[in-house]
Amino acid sequence: MPYQAPLDSMLFALTEVAALDDLVETGAFEGLSREITAAILTEAGKLASNVFAPLNRSGDLEGCRYEGGAVVTPPGLKEAFAQFAGGGWAGLSAPAEFGGQAMPVLLDAAVSELWAASNMAFSLCPILARGTVAAISAHGTDEQKRLFLPHLVSGRWTGTMNLTEPQAGSDVGALQTQAVRRGDGTYSITGSKIFITFGEHDMAENIVHLVLARLPDAPAGTKGISLFIVPKFLINSDGSMGARNDVQCVGIEHKLGIHASPTCVMRYGEGGGATGVLLGRENGGMAAMFTMMNDARLSVGTQGLGIAERAFQQALAFAVERRQGRPLGASMRTGPAPIIEHMDVQRMLMTMKALVEAMRGLVYVNAAAIDIAHVGRTEEARRAALLRADLLTPVTKAWCTDMGVEVASIGVQIHGGMGFVEETGAAQHYRDARIAPIYEGTNGIQAIDLVTRKLGMDGGAALQSYLAELHDCAEQLAQRNLPVLSAALARGAKDLDDVARWLRDRLDAGAVDDALAGATPFLSLFGTVAGGHVLARGALVPGCPADRITLAQFYAANILSRADHYAQAATSGSGDMSVGAIGL
């Protein structure tokens, strides 16, 4: 199925919802304007539509092949990646001093949506590479930056994140990979890592692995974890490529989806020890890794958005083409009608569209907050934006990926029997979408992060300022004669406030189980309300098309109305849960 960049919708969300102009006005991004943004999106859209989208189905069918330590990516991917790198896309938001284009994270998020939508499996490679750049930029020495960043930014090399081990998944602190000081400033790394995305492939000259490992004298748990740069090929101090490092891909997983993305089992130090250099400080690995993970969490939320947009486009095209039956009450029509004329199909398409627009707004607002946290004009503005970004990131990651699955599933349904036939392509989105709620911290982990860390940040100030914004928006809706939207948003905000207070009270009272039991529905509540908020902001734009108000109203009645349910579930506590009832 073809894919077209939804440029109008993206530009609307960038400018009217995520306040692109605020970033322009900071003056921190040279040359940034609405025009250049549109031009960049247009170019990226061409690459996505013409190069990546056509490889989506073939990549799914062919998958990756493991051949004696090497990984062969599906036909065309290597060339597509070369075009991607050649176009400078790998370094869109990277620092200019290392060859990047120093554009905002916001713009990178928008462009990333295009990669995710056109080819979700492929889009993982840039996500990981960008995370590597973020981590080295933030924590690397000048030497490390000089040696690694230019090639990562240019797309000549790619990067990976090595956290998971068979016994250490969500509990990163349980990892056992060892790092031993060699005395020459390098470390000898030994251990196994699993689920390493693009851990080995044939698209780049070198792969820069960021590896979490434990020093012999490290404290237990996450406090004893250090982060190492372990390149596939060692780099000489003059920047030239050196010897092959002692790291091997020993196999790849056979997965439900994203077949064009190799998920590798990596073995470090089978030949005596892989050579790594410390990134950041000893035992400070988690902090450094979080830099990368926060970046990746936003990116994975963006994947939820992208795959939903793709599924939506495909379902819409089918619903316009496919003729079947006559809607009841449409007896004047001769011959079968396109199924989009059936109200039940319209409901499904409206649900997809409303969710996609809500996700897009949320992803972009989150990205803009990350930018302002870096370049806001005042310390106060930066501080507030950082809190906002920290608050929203788990919501964006989890809610957008959950909705990605929901939207992809509706996409299958709209196709009827054809949706279950792989040839159609709808089923691939349903398979691909399913990984996003799992990786980069499962959605359950995001919910626990939200409740146990983010709600309490700065005495709860992050949430309070967000709630104030929601109420302000509801007020404006009322003034603009949109009472239904206003009431729905105000009610959602109240739910959010009430539940957050309840959760914090339970935590304060030491009733941790109650708070943890409510974490996931609370996050769903948060995402649902946040989605209503961004759609409402769109409806408030002077002169916006009436259809945009219709969309916001549909969301309010049909999706935001989930809020009370989530609120009830989130505050139902742990008393109605028991291992005995599960085992009945």
Name the residue nearer to a second copy (CB basis): 74 or 538.
538
Taking only Cα atoms into account, the Rg of the chain, rounded to an integer number of angstroms, comes to 24
CB neighbour list of residue 44: distance below 8 Å, 6 or more residues apart? 5, 89, 111, 114
- For residue 112, the tally of other CB atoms under 10 A from its CB is 28
How far apart CA 166 and CA 558 sit, in angstroms, is 41
Q: Which is nearer to a second copy, 384 or 567 (CB)?
A: 567
The binding track of 387-426 with respect to a second copy, each residue x by CB under 8 A or -, is ------------------x---x--xx--xx-xxxxx---
Q: Which is nearer to a second copy, 388 or 434 (CB)?
A: 434
- Does 253 sit near a second copy (CB under 8 A)? yes
| Distance from C-alpha of 175 to C-alpha of 194, rounded to nearest angstrom | 11
Nearer to a second copy, 185 or 583 (CB): 583
One symbol per residue from 38 to 77: x for binding a second copy (CB under 8 A), - otherwise; what is it?
A: ----------------------------------------
327 vs 319: CA distance, rounded Å: 14
What are phi and psi for residue 185, nearest 5 degrees? 95, -15
Q: Which of 191, 304, 521, 532 binds a second copy (CB under 8 A)?
A: 521
At residue 440, the 3 state secondary structure works out as coil
Could you tell me the two tokens for 292? 């990368």
Which CB atom, from 250 or from 381, has the smaller least distance to a second copy? 250
- Give the Cα-Cα-Cα angle 138, 229, 121 (nearest 5 degrees): 85
Residues 6+ apart with CB under 8 A from 261: 64, 121, 122, 124, 125, 197, 198
State yes or no: residue 505 binds a second copy (CB under 8 A): no
Distance in Å, CB of 81 to a second copy, minimum: 23
Site for a second copy in 289-348 (CB under 8 A): 316, 323-325, 327-329, 336, 340, 342-348
Q: In angstroms, what is the minimal distance from the CB of 444 to a second copy?
A: 4
Which amino acid makes up residue 132?
T
The residue type found at 516 is L
Size of the site for a second copy (CB under 8 A): 96
CB of 167 to a second copy, least distance (A): 8
- 341 belongs to the catalytic site: no
CB of 41 to a second copy, least distance (A): 17
Q: What's the closest the beta carbon of residue 29 comes to a second copy, in angstroms?
A: 28
What is the C-alpha to C-alpha distance for residues 174 and 527, in angstroms, rounded to an integer?
31
What is the smallest separation between the CB atom of 491 and a second copy, expressed in angstroms? 11
Per the CB < 8 A criterion, the answer to whether 514 and 569 are in contact is no
Site for a second copy in 534-563 (CB under 8 A): 545-548, 550-551, 553-554, 557-558, 561-562
Pick the closer one to a second copy by CB: 148 or 430. Answer: 430
DSSP letter assigned to residue 174:
G
Closer residue to a second copy in complex, CB, 39/557: 557
Q: Return the bridge partners of 276, or none.
A: 187
Residue for token pair 């963006």: 302
Q: Contacts with a second copy in 273-292 (CB under 8 A)?
A: none
The angle, 0 to 180 degrees and rounded to 10, between the axes of the packed helices 120-139 and 285-321 is 160
Which positions from 163 to 182 touch a second copy by CB under 8 A, shown as an x/- string? -x--x-xxx-xx--------
The catalytically annotated residue of 79, 143, 440, 475 is: 440
264 binds a second copy (CB under 8 A): no
Which residues are known catalytic residues?
A: 440
